[in-house]
Each structure stands twice: as structure tokens, then as C-alpha cells.
Amino acid sequence: MKFRYSELLRCPLEQSAMQVKDGQLRCEKGHCFDIARQGYVNLLGPGDKRSRDPGDSRDMVAARREFLQSGHYEPVAEALAVSVSRLIGRDAVIADAGCGEGYYLEKLQQHLDLDAGAATLIGFDISKWAVQAATRRIQATWLVASNRRIPLAPGSVDCLLCLFGFPVFDAFMTALQPGGTLLLVTAGPRHLIELREILYPTIKHSESAVVQQAVDAGFVQGHSSSLQYTTAPLRQREISDLLTMTPHLFRASHEGKLRAAQLQNFPVTVDVRVQLLHKNPPG
């Protein structure tokens, strides 16, 4: 897929504007970044990597793509679209921080019937495998980049999405324009509770401090809503994909994962919170 250039892109090394030339993004200071044949650019800075292959692995990305394609999280995508539709115009700049393999940005475009020629859709993730998969979904500006160093012009984003990700509120605040909105989707206390009860001997219930962290960074709380439902019974392969795409793959014991491998026709609870957070809200 052809790379979709945006004039909002900024060099991750010294934040100057960039242009496409000879198959590369080049900044005014001469830094060059190759455009991959799949249609994305790697804009990770030298301090953004904590490993040789950061973010989700190829297997995690493949599992997430398979599971999400099954439709079990479609209500989450619909709730996202409803919330965003109340916030933006058709020429808005929408960025998905930690976009994964592009499922939610694609669903947002479909639900809102966004005109790709008017709206600016940008997705970035620290995993190159996730971004490579995302390029196969829709025409958007796809980037390998970190939430800590967002390679976009300050104050350029109307709506920033962060779903089940790792928010960096100072960087999010910088990227959003005045009056812009961060849409944060986090797991509720009963999210995947049935699977968690299989994986762990005890379940810890703790209140998330993420919203307070956003407020401490200067965001103003807006509308908050919760979504809770039970999926259709999951086949064993879907349970395996669900486990592989979540942090439970690394947190659960070997015994817990063996128990999960025996599950079949197993519905789970989806419990999420959708929180709007505003930068300098009008009025």
C-alpha cells in the first residue's frame, strides 16, 4: 500500500517538518527515514527502544487480528464510534496512539463513513509487526513510533485515541490542539473475569489511577461511560488468540495457561470504560 503523507509529520530527532523525496521522509535538517514497501515509516528515535524488537511480537499481532476479526469486540468499536462522532467534523485529524494492527481505526472510518480525502487518520505503534499489519486495513498515515515521542506537530490533533494502551499524558497533551479530546478506553474490573479466574489462583481488584494521572497532567474530565456484555461462546482457538494478545500471556503461570488450553465454548465478560479527557475545553 502507498504511504499516505501528512504535512503534520515531524522529525523525531529535532521536530522539524518533513517531506517525501526519493522514497524517504526527509526533514529540513537532513535526517532521512525510509518509506517501507508496505506503506509505513519507522520514526522511532534512538531513545525509544528498550529492546531490539519493541512492542507486540509477530505472534501477538497475528492472534489479535484473528480474534478481533471474529467480531467479539465489535460493540467496543461501536461505542468508540458513537463517542467520536459527537466530537469531530468530517475534516478532523484523528490519531490512534498504540494503534495495534489497525482494527479500531478501520472500524471508526467505517462507522462514521469518514471521507478519506478530508479526514486525516494517523495510527502509530511501537511494534513494527503491528504497523505492518495495519497497512493492510485502510489508507491512513501509519507510523512506527512511541507514545513518548509523538512525531506530529504540536497542537495538531483534534481527537487522540488510546485503547487498552499505555498513555503518556504529557505527550498526548502536546499533540492535541486546544479544545482537543483524548478518548481513553480502559479495562473495567470484570473484564475477561472468567478467563482470569482460570488463569490465576486469586483475582486482585484495584481501582485504576489512570484518570487521575490524566487530570494531574492538565486534562479536564469529560463524559464517562461503561460498556459490559458477554461474548458468544469462544472456541478453543479464539481463547488461545485472546490469551496470546493480552498481557496475561506473560503474567499467568504455566499451570494457569494449561487450564485455559482445555477450555471450549467459553463465553467471557467484556467490561470497558470509555473516558473523554479534554485539553482546555471551550467555554
For 233-242, the pLDDT digits (tens) are: 999 999 999 9
3-state secondary structure 38-100: CCEEECCCCCCCCCCCCCCCHHHHHHHHHHHHCCCCHHHHHHHHHHHHCCCCCCCEEEEECCC
- 228 in any annotated domain: yes
What's CA 264's distance to the chain center, in Å? Answer: 29
d(CA 137, CA 253): 34
**Residue 75 cell numbers, joined:** 460493540
- 147 in any annotated domain: yes
- 21 in any annotated domain: no
Query: What are the pLDDT digits (tens) for 137-180?
Result: 999 999 999 999 999 999 999 999 999 999 999 999 999 999 99
Query: What is the model's pLDDT at position 232?
Result: 98
CA distances to 23, 187, 240 from 93, rounded to whole Å, are 24, 26, 36
Percent of the chain with pLDDT over 90: 84
Backbone dihedral angles phi then psi of residue 176, each to the nearest 5 degrees? -75, 145
- 32 in any annotated domain: no
Are the C-beta atoms of residues 76 and 185 closer than 8 Å to each other? yes
d(CA 2, CA 260): 41
- 169 in any annotated domain: yes
Residue closest to 181 by CA, chosen among 114, 250, 274? 274
Q: What amino acid is encoded at 185 in this protein?
A: V
Bridge-based pairing state of the strands 176-187 and 93-97: unpaired
> Taking the complete model, does pTM exceed 0.85, yes or no?
yes
Average pLDDT over residues 217-228: 96
Task: Quote the mean pLDDT of the chain.
Answer: 93
- 16 in any annotated domain: no
By residue count, the chain amounts to 283
Query: What is the model's pLDDT at position 263?
Result: 96
- 108 in any annotated domain: yes
Query: What are the pLDDT digits (tens) for 54-103?
Result: 899 999 999 999 999 999 999 999 999 989 988 887 789 999 999 999 99
Q: In the predicted model, is pLDDT for residue 282 greater than 60?
A: no
- 13 in any annotated domain: no
**Residue 221 cell numbers, joined:** 474530565
- The domain of 214 spans 55-278
Residue closest to 104 by CA, chosen among 127, 125, 89, 126? 125
Number of domains in the chain: 1
Count of H-run helices and E-run strands, the chain: 10, 11
d(CA 59, CA 105): 21
Q: What is the CATH number of the domain that holds 140?
A: 3.40.50.150
Query: What are the pLDDT digits (tens) for 171-205?
Result: 999 999 999 999 999 999 999 999 999 999 999 87
**Residue 29 cell numbers, joined:** 535538517
Query: What is the model's pLDDT at position 85?
Result: 86
